[in-house]
Chain A
Amino acid sequence: AQTVTQSQPEMSVQEAETVTLSCTYDTSESDYYLFWYKQPPSRQMILVIRQEAYKQQNATENRFSVNFQKAAKSFSLKISDSQLGDAAMYFCAYGTQGAQKLVFGQGTRLTINP
């Protein structure tokens, strides 16, 4: 079974600084998807960034980028120029097209200090 591990229950960063959230996963599949979701106090899960495993190029979305290391099964999220609105729970997730479901990590609570 696939598993996703986020080893940092909590992280904090100063506003405007850069922070990296870690995620590792375990799978025997070769074709899959990886995601970072943000869950603010409103509880709605918001997609931050998405990576297809067959793509070697790391995904980026504005201030958000990932470091995808397929051999090491590592998928970290870098947030640059942190803003107060980035404060939330961040979840790393794994999915395969055939399974049509996501496997989530336990989450990392990110605090932004003004």
Chain B
Amino acid sequence: KAGVTQTPRYLIKTRGQQVTLSCSPISGHRSVSWYQQTPGQGLQFLFEYFSETQRNKGNFPGRFSGRQFSNSRSEMNVSTLELGDSALYLCASSFSGMDEKLFFGSGTQLSVL
């Protein structure tokens, strides 16, 4: 069974641009969560989607958004990039949520110049 796939692995953008990151969950998983990892703030929850609906949202500005498609693949978008958005963005999937094991991808490393 293929694991959680995140694309691209690395991304370099400049301030003010927008970016879209993609996550393909494990086959059969319907819950997809996104986390931001930085050296200063650590791992922080962004949002979680289940069956195309956002179930939970972390404390991030509206520039951060996401969506989930009918095949459970998810995308997150960051608009008007700031230097502080440089981070590793991790995606995790599970069958239904917290009572199941979360499986993480290898992340997308975003650098904002």
Give the docked Cα–Cα distance between A98 and B96 (Å): 12
Give the docked Cα–Cα distance between A93 and B35 (Å): 13
> Would A47 and B45 count as touching, CB distance under 8 A?
no
Number of A positions contacting B (CB below 8 A): 24
Residues of A within 8 A of B48 (CB): 100-101
Q: Which of B31, B45, B55 has the most CB of A within 10 A?
A: B45
Residue B104 contacts which of A44, A99, A107 (CB distance < 8 angstroms)?
Answer: A44
> Would A97 and B98 count as touching, CB distance under 8 A?
yes
Least CB separation from B90: chain A residue: A45
Residue B88 contacts which of A43, A91, A103 (CB distance < 8 angstroms)?
Answer: A43
Q: Which of B31, B33, B90, B104 has the most CB of A within 10 A?
A: B104
Interface size band for B: 20 to 34
Residues of A within 8 A of B90 (CB): 43, 45
Contact mask for chain B residues 84-98; partner A; CB cutoff 8 A; 1 contact, 0 none: 000010101000011
The reply on B8 being an interface residue by CB < 8 A is no
**B residues apposed to A, CB below 8 Å:** 31, 33, 35, 42-45, 48, 50, 55-56, 58, 88, 90, 92, 97-99, 101-107, 109
Residues of B within 8 A of A37 (CB): 104
The reply on A102 being an interface residue by CB < 8 A is yes
The reply on A104 being an interface residue by CB < 8 A is yes
A100 with B107, Cβ < 8 A, contacts A43-B88, A107-B42 known: no
> Would B58 and A101 count as touching, CB distance under 8 A?
yes
Residue A44 contacts which of B33, B43, B105, B109 (CB distance < 8 angstroms)?
Answer: B105
A100 with B42, Cβ < 8 A, contacts A43-B107, A50-B101 known: no
Pairs of residues from A and B, 6 with the lowest C-beta to C-beta distance, nearest first: A45-B104, A104-B43, A101-B45, A97-B98, A44-B106, A100-B97
Residues of B within 8 A of A101 (CB): 33, 45, 48, 56, 58, 98
